[in-house]
Amino acid sequence: MFKRSILQITALSLFISGGITCAVNAQQTTVTLHADHPLNTISKHIYGHFAEHLGRCIYDGFYVGDSSSIPNTAGVRNDIIAALKNLNIPNLRWPGGCFADRYHWKDGVGPKSERPSIVNTMWGGVTEDNSFGTHDFLNMCKLLGTEPYLAGNTGSGTVQELADWVQYVNFEGKSPMSDLRVKNGQAKPWNVKFWGVGNEAWGCGGNMTPEYYVGEFRRYATFMEGKDLFKIASGANVDDYHWTETLMKGIPLRMMDGIALHHYSFPSWEKKGPSTGFSEQQYFETMKTALRMDELITKHTAIMDRYDPKKKIALVVDEWGGWWNVEPGTNPGFLYQQNTMRDAMIAGATLNIFNNHSDRVRVANLAQCVNVLQAVILTSKEKMLLSPTYHVMEMYKVHQDATLLPVEVRSDDYVFGQDKLPSVSVSASKDAKGLTHVSVVNINSSKTEEIEIVLTGGQYKSVKGRILTSAKVDDHNTFEKPDLIKPAVFKGAALKDGKLKVKLPPFSLAVLELN
């Protein structure tokens, strides 16, 4: 764990508003919020989650089996259901990830005693009994009140297999697949809207070229028949702009509804470092990777705009989050890691970026939900804890389906060595009740940021808010101290003469409500 140091403030800062940046001289962060220029709706689906057959996410995470002493409904933990319902999670992606292109859905339906076992060759080489399958997942989504997002197998599967899955879960009339669904105990279809046509086709989904994948997508999508399907193409890895260009050029807009983008945050891919006890350099480099999300979205959007100026096709960031070395003594293939205030900074800054780009980014999925990567929930036998990232998602849920309000941010700098990053990021929205919410993040490791927010075009009489902060940037909740980090009432904001003055401690975030 690094010690806080006094950092020199330098002149160059960035302002981000819907992807626009400019250089200014700033000693204090200033923000202009344009309440009189409402923009698009921030889709609630930006706040989606991800549950892959990976490590202890499904088995010994969500799913403990109906004979478990842990309170459950049809084998799914009741405490996890309650926690996720509190987040208003809008969608949940399953069964992968890389696992999706190795998964054959018919192995996971029918009597559990008759389902074949499989080896999860992608993650840990463990044997799974397929006791958690399509019915289990879709019925769990009903318990959660969330929309399922099914990732189809285009790597090791067939066109017929995916077409059958669509018919099995969505067709209400009489057909071979709907008859099989009824035989397996589900009379009514689930009417699944979101469908991924493969995952990471450039890598674990088949090591395809973009030109080859275009043909595969067109073939699979043709036979995925049904109304109101939202078909998501396997999109680029980070900055592979050629991939996006090839898909936009080669796939008719009428055939797809979204293109995926995957981007993770870490000091470096080769040396991810520990989840706790990291150095300041590792923290700084991680935040540089996280803030790069704005650049990636801006550049992928520019390509998409050339072919789709009306923004019909969504950019779907269906894998994002922090990625560290696994916890000592755990299976390397399980990707189990702790979740600290650094993860909270990634979440807050990334969600601000998504909000500000919500004209094009309309679906996103944090990776992953339980016990894997930047999880919002960790479990140990009967115990469960909520991570700092969970609390960020809970605080930010006020932006779901609210109207984006543009902000201009001229940020003070967070300086490390010869490098620098903007300390502060902001997004704002107005909800259906007329309340304005402003989410503010300070990633600076040592400096309290004094932020002046000029409120134009709106009359506000009061402000209140909550803050997420802690003493050290690698602080985290444990099963012994599950509430070390949790939201608290924020007393560092004052409203006067159309301006909001905010004092935000190092590595902290606040969500303010203006009325």
Residues 281-299, mean pLDDT to the nearest whole number: 98
Task: Please tell me whether residues 240 and 140 are part of one structural domain.
Answer: yes
Q: Which residues pair with 509 in a beta bridge?
A: 441, 468
Q: Which of 364, 194, 196 is nearest to 296 (CA)?
A: 364
Q: How many helices (H) and strands (E) does the chain have?
A: 9, 29
Question: Parallel, antiparallel, or unpaired: how do β-strands 147-152 and 126-128 relate?
Answer: unpaired
Averaged pLDDT, 406-430:
97
Residue 194 CA to residue 151 CA, distance in Å, equals 8
pLDDT band at 9 (very low <50, low <70, confident <90, very high): very low
Is the alpha carbon torsion for 492, 493, 499, 505 positive or negative? positive
- Verify that 94 and 177 share a domain, yes or no: yes
- 192 and 78 belong to one structural domain: yes
- Residue 16: its pLDDT value, please? 34
| Least confident span in 11-20, 301-310, 348-357, 468-477 | 11-20
Give the span between the Cα atoms of 115 and 35, in whole angstroms: 56
Cβ atoms of 138 and 190 closer than 8 Å: yes
Contact 514, 407 (CB under 8 A): no
Angstrom distance (rounded) from CA 43 to CA 297:
16
Residue 317 · residue 290 · CB < 8 Å: no
Query: Residue 2 falls within a domain, yes or no?
Result: no
pLDDT of 21 > 70? The answer is no
- Residue 307 confidence (pLDDT) above 60: yes
Do 299 and 350 lie in one domain? The reply is yes
DSSP symbols for 366-404: ES-SBSSSS-SEEEETTEEEE-HHHHHHHHHGGGTTPEE
Residue 451 is assigned to a structural domain of this protein: yes
Q: What is the pLDDT of residue 1?
A: 40
For residue 388, name the pLDDT band (cuts at 50, 70, 90).
very high
Per the residue annotation, which of 200, 216, 280, 408 is the catalytic one?
Answer: 200
Residue 186 has pLDDT above 60, yes or no: yes
* 147 annotated active-site: no
**Residue 124: exposed, middle, or buried by beta-carbon count in 10 A (0-12, 13-18, 19+)?**
middle
pLDDT above 90: residue 3: no
Confidence of residue 493 (pLDDT cuts 50, 70, 90): very high
393 & 416 share domain: no
Residue 18 is predicted with a pLDDT of 38
Q: How far is CA 487 from the centre of its chain?
A: 20
Is the CB of residue 62 less than 8 Å from the CB of residue 80?
yes
Cβ distance 476 to 387 under 8 Å? yes
Read off the CATH number of the domain in which 182 is found: 3.20.20.80
More confident position, 227 or 156? 156
CATH number at residue 458: 2.60.40.1180
Phi-psi region of 334 (alpha: psi -120 to 50; beta: other; left: phi over 0): alpha
Given this model, what pLDDT does residue 15 score? 31
Tell whether 436 and 364 lie within a shared domain: no
Helix (H, G, I), strand (E, B) or coil at 13: strand
Final residue in a domain of this structure, among 404, 432, 455? 404
Both 358 and 471 in a single domain?
Answer: no
| Whether residues 99 and 243 fall in one domain | yes
Question: CB count, 10 Å around CB of 239?
Answer: 15
Strand 449-456 with 29-34, pairing:
parallel
Domain boundary among 404, 424, 450: 404
379 and 424 share one domain? no
User: Does residue 144 sit in the same domain as residue 184?
Assistant: yes
Q: Is the peptide bond before 95 cis (omega within 30 degrees of 0)?
A: yes
Q: Is residue 271 part of a domain?
A: yes
Instruction: Report whether pLDDT(156) > 70.
Output: yes
Q: Classify residue 483: in a domain, yes or no.
A: yes
Q: Is the pLDDT of residue 247 over 50?
A: yes
Residue 237 phi, psi (nearest 5):
-90, 110
Whose structure tokens read 């399922």? 148
CA distances from 143 to 78, 224, 447 (A): 10, 26, 43
Condensed to tens digits (0 to 9), the pLDDT of residues 76-113 reads: 999 999 999 999 999 999 999 999 999 999 999 999 99
Which helix (H) or strand (E) element contains residue 297?
helix 280-307
105 and 214 assigned to the same domain: yes
- Residue 16 maps to a domain: no
Helix (H, G, I), strand (E, B) or coil at 307: helix
At residue 503, does pLDDT exceed 70?
Answer: yes
Question: Rounded mean pLDDT of 23-36?
Answer: 77
Q: What is the pLDDT confidence band of residue 17, given thresholds at 50, 70 and 90?
A: very low
Across 221-225, average pLDDT = 97
pLDDT at 443: 98
On the question of pLDDT at 60 being above 50, the answer is yes
Residue 318's nearest CA partner among 90, 77, 17, 55 is 90
Instruction: Report DSSP state, residue 87.
Output: T
Query: Residue written as tokens 């057959």?
Result: 53
Annotated catalytic residue within 128, 280, 285, 319: 319
| Residue keyed to tokens 């991570």 | 387
Question: 411 and 379 in one domain?
Answer: no
Query: 105: which 2 tokens?
Result: 């859905």
Residue 508 lies in a domain: yes
The pLDDT tens digits for 200-219 are 999 999 999 999 999 999 99
In a domain, 120, yes or no: yes
pLDDT mean across residues, the chain: 94
Token pair 């909000």 is at which residue?
Answer: 355
Q: Is residue 272 part of a domain?
A: yes
Write out the residue range of the structural domain in which residue 109 sits: 40-404
| Domains in the chain, number | 2
Catalytic status, residue 211: no
Confidence of residue 27 (pLDDT cuts 50, 70, 90): low
Nearest-5° Cα angle at 365, 362 to 368: 175
The residue out of 336, 370, 404 marking a domain boundary is 404
When pLDDT is averaged across residues 360-366 and rounded to a whole number, the result is 98
Burial 269-296 (b: 16+ CB within 10 A, else e): eeebbbbbebebebbbbbbbbbbebbeb
Give me 487's structure tokens: 């939201």
pLDDT at site 28:
84
